[in-house]
Chain A
Amino acid sequence: MRPDLQNASDANLVLSIARWHEDALAEAYRRHAGAVLGLARRVLYDGALAEEVAQEVFLRLWSAPERFDPGRGTLRSFLLAQTHGRAVDVLRSETSRRRREQREAVETAAAGYDVEHEVSDLAVAEQVREALGGLPEGQRQAIELAYFGGHSYREVASMLGEPEGTVKSRIRAGLSRLHLQLEPVLAGGGG
């Protein structure tokens, strides 16, 4: 691999992908496939399906790199947003799996947030854990169920017995609050 790729910024890496450099895609995979797979697995509870989603995400990066806008965020957040969207699509097309997850998700959310074990950046994980822990319960639960459970806000509202408007605004307020707390992390991170 060309030595400059490992230190390339997100924008330069994607530019290299746009120029059909397969080693640039491999570098993007090296950096982000773990997170992509991790998120897909967490949403789908299915390793094989998660791998399919991950495959789609990287193939899409290869075929449409112009979709990435470095001004909008990092390559990591772009890939994870794609991953999440795709995983939720897959999830919503399988109703029996959904019913099972509803039960699991409510139990998980009620029990309390438990950060994943293997994190490559412990300092960031610690800050994220603290920020999440610092959220009002209603906001944390709503975000957890929506993001990791893959539920729509209407489903979350029904699961928690809350009005839909309340859930919508809790998700939005919770994310804003997390953003405030995690700004140093966001500013420092990313390529």
Chain B
Amino acid sequence: MRHAEIEELLGAYALDAVEPEEARLVEEHLATCPRCRAEVATHRQVASLLGDSGGAAPETLWARIAGEIDAESAGPGGPVDGSGPKALASIVALGEVVASREGGPRDERRGGPTEPAASTPALRRRRPAGRRFALAGLGAVAAALALVVGLLASQVGSLNDRVAVVQSALSSGSLAEQALAASLDPRSERVDLASPGAGRAPTASLVLDRASGTAFWIGTKLPALARDRTYQLWSLVGGKPVSVGVLGALPHYAELRVEPDMSTFMVSNEPEGGSQAPTTPVLLQGSAAAL
């Protein structure tokens, strides 16, 4: 189908008003056409305004929803704190999280304690539950993980970090957890690093904990360099680039020390082992927000 023919369908498609085979053709096209994706998104936004905003929704319906998600699995599994990074306590636990997100049986849901609230439907306090996978199952988990990471590769934001943490933790362990914990800490400062030029999407981040003088590097989206090259992080201090650290050829996570006067950062591609000063043009740059 020509692009013009697809375009004619976009309005009807956004309103779910096309034939199944037309929907399939449009979806195939949308996968590679950001302009048409944006048009569909806009149509859907407009459509969402047309109905009524609705009043309160029945508690009975919420009770059914809560009932479904509270169903617990049987089986061994230590209680884990589901409140975030601490839930990623082990590779096997990670396998659980990924597999359940990939559509595993609903009764593998895990979660942390919840509190009933006056203004929301009453929630039952729920025991965290889990089920351990045999290590042999990790192959399937890794495949599922690759799918999830692939699906999310185009998204920017914390959800991607969460999956990136899962991915990296399978190989590197606790550094990823610490990086995620730091990124979710409201006291931390986040510096997004993007290619120079206006309006570029960030491809790496630094999460700064000024109190301790540490920064976590999160670079899961960077391409790997050749083995004799490395990424190096610099900061502009007094107008001169100062090396913050050598990151390696495929740095997903790293922990670095930062000084209080470091707020503008840059990344360049250097020979293995690093350089005294950048020898190649700036690949990525970013600054901490002014206080």
Contacts and interface: CB of A to CB of B under 8 A. Distances in A.
A32 B52 CA distance: 11
A149 to B, nearest CB: 9
A120 B54 contact: yes
A4 to B, nearest CB: 9
Contact of A186 (B16, B37, B46, B109): B46
Nearest to B44: A81
A84 B121 contact: no
A135 to B, nearest CB: 11
A23 B206 CA distance: 30
A44 interface: no
What is the predominant secondary structure among interface residues of chain A facing chain B? helix
A176 B61 CA distance: 35
A174 B112 CA distance: 46
Nearest to B61: A51
How big is chain B's contact interface, by range?
Answer: 35 or more
A28 to B, nearest CB: 10
Contacts of A19: 82-84, 87, 162
A143 B156 CA distance: 33
Contacts of B64: 55
Interface in A126-164: 128, 132, 143, 146-148, 150-154, 156
B12 A72 contact: no
Interface string B104-130: 001001111011010111010010000
B157 A63 contact: no
Contacts of B106: 63
Given A51-B58, A84-B16, A146-B12, 6 more contacts: A2-B115, A19-B83, A27-B120, A34-B53, A36-B54, A168-B8
Interface of A: 1-2, 6, 11, 14-15, 18-23, 25-27, 29-30, 32-39, 42, 51, 54-55, 58-59, 62-66, 69-74, 76-77, 80-81, 84-85, 88, 115-121, 124-125, 128, 132, 143, 146-148, 150-154, 156, 165, 167-169, 171-176, 178-179, 182, 185-186
19 contacts: A6-B119, A19-B83, A20-B87, A21-B83, A21-B114, A22-B69, A23-B114, A29-B62, A35-B52, A38-B52, A59-B69, A64-B101, A121-B53, A128-B49, A152-B12, A152-B19, A168-B8, A172-B7, A186-B46
